[in-house]
Amino acid sequence: MHTQRTGYKPGQLILDGILAVFIATFIAALLFAMLREQGFTNSYAALADAFLHGQLNVERCFDVDCAVSPDGRSWVIFPPFPALVSLPFVMIFGVEFSGFIPLATVFVAVSTLLWIRIFRSQGVEMREAVWLTVALVFASPVYLLLLRANGIWFFAQAVSFLLVTLSIYEAFHKKRLVLIGVFIGLAFLTRQMSVFYAPFILVLLLNSKQPVWRINRELITKIFWIGLPIALSIGLYFIYNNVRFGDFLENGYRYLIESSDELVPGEPITNRLNTVGLFSKDYALFNFVYMFFQGFHFEFTGPNALTSVGMDRWGTSLFAASPFVFLALLAPFRQENFVGYAVILLIAGVTIFYHSNGYSQINAQRYTLDWLPILMVFVARAVTKARMEVVRLLILYALVLNLVAFALTAWVDMTA
């Protein structure tokens, strides 16, 4: 009788039940990570404490990406907005604040609610919207961010994820231009590549019959009101750099590089910076393979290759770990698709030549999260009932991969 009342078939109810079990399992693991979080692990707490004391340099960083200038002062090289987000908590609990995972969870929880509404705005029914949102949160790099938000890199991406989600949500709902610009500007002050969301958001705001290349008063007005807060954010960042290092374009990375031919055992990122540099064509093949093709890889070592080491810390490609994103390729092609894919290629193209691919990470390429929200808009537009029957299986497969990856990693850590 229940099946007749809801219109659900028994198979649908079984799949939904399995999905609910996965959600409960991932939430339980997240709560365990919250309980284990310790202070003095996220340098944004150190930067927030510095702001409270009227300075931009920190007493010491809590991570390896710490720039030390010739005068001996230490600097957090990453953009400052996440430090301002954590500042009230550091003010209350001190520099030892250990609640970054709960804080990131709140941000992602808000994003989750917004994504359900974003999917619904694209004509996706509620059940499908829930499945896609669960996939985005628990079967993509987002879940990795939650578990590792005690680190500065992951917390920054959790903040940025919320901000770009807010900008997309505004484009589909309230359409408040200045607020969209504020969200993108703050996202830039969190993850610099987020600034490239501006043209994608702009084209979402245009009438579908209005070509993006046709300049008129409406387009100029939108560009101005969205662009003004973004320009102010960029200006603030340049000033921030200049005050710290005497150069508007210097973010501190050059103080990480020692330009030495001496290799440090077990420190591939340090060795890359010191022997190759921050950006290089030498990174392109490695980053390209790991971003798009590298599969699920649990490593074994020892003389017989039977000693378990753990998951490949360079990660798993987006398409191998989250195959449901292939649905985006079936979306009806509009001008926003062209702009969206151009933005994706731009952001991904820059990171292809970057010294790090997001290392260390588990079953994810976390840098893909800089453009995954754009891809998820196209996923929503490709949803049909027939396609979702297959996509649901891909989502469950991705959830299994994530669960196995983190379970194996925890097992190796406990038995080490």
Q: How much is the pLDDT for 399? A: 98
Confidence (pLDDT) at 334:
86
Q: What six digits make up the tokens of 304?
A: 């017989």
Average pLDDT over all residues of the chain: 93
pLDDT tens profile 362-407: 999 999 999 999 999 999 999 999 999 999 999 999 999 999 999 9
Which pLDDT does position 208 carry in this prediction?
Answer: 65
Measured over the CA atoms of residue 232, residue 238, residue 240 and residue 246, the dihedral's sign is: negative
Mean pLDDT of 100-120: 98
Question: Is pLDDT at 24 greater than 70 in this prediction?
Answer: yes
Interatomic CA distance for residues 159 and 256, integer angstroms = 24
User: pLDDT confidence of 274, banded at 50, 70, 90?
Assistant: confident
Tens digits of residue pLDDT in 345-361: 999 999 999 999 999 99
CB-based contact 204:336 (threshold 8 Å)? yes
Cβ atoms of 296 and 316 within 8 Å: the answer is yes
Q: Which two tokens stand for residue 185?
A: 């500007």
Q: Report pLDDT digits (tens) over 174-230.
A: 999 999 999 999 999 999 999 999 999 999 998 766 676 777 888 899 999 999 999
User: Average pLDDT in the 36-54 region?
Assistant: 97
Provide the residue type at 84 as one letter.
L
Task: Read off the pLDDT of residues 147-170 as tens digits, 9 standing for 90 and up.
Answer: 999 999 999 999 999 999 999 999
2: pLDDT strictly greater than 50: no
For the segment 229-247, the average pLDDT, to the nearest whole number, is: 97
Out of 140-154, 188-202, 294-308, 314-328, pick the least confident.
294-308
Partnered with residue 307 across adjacent β-strands are 301
Q: Is residue 3 scored above 50 in pLDDT?
A: no
The predicted structure's pLDDT at residue 80 = 98
pLDDT at 4: 41
* CA distances, 93 to each of 51, 89, 153 (Å): 15, 6, 21
Q: Please state the rounded mean pLDDT for residues 248-260.
A: 84
Give pLDDT, residue 116: 98
What's the confidence (pLDDT) of residue 209? Answer: 66
**Strands (DSSP E) along 126-196, which ranges?**
none
- pLDDT band for position 270 (50/70/90)? confident
* pLDDT value at residue 7: 59
Q: How far apart are CA 352 and CA 367, in angstroms?
A: 10
Residues of the chain above pLDDT 90, percent: 83
Q: Is pLDDT larger for residue 28 or for residue 66? A: 28
pLDDT surpasses 80 at 291: yes
**Structure confidence at residue 8 as a pLDDT band (50, 70, 90):** low
The model's pTM: 0.95
Tell me which DSSP letter residue 3 carries. H
Write down the pLDDT at residue 1.
Answer: 33
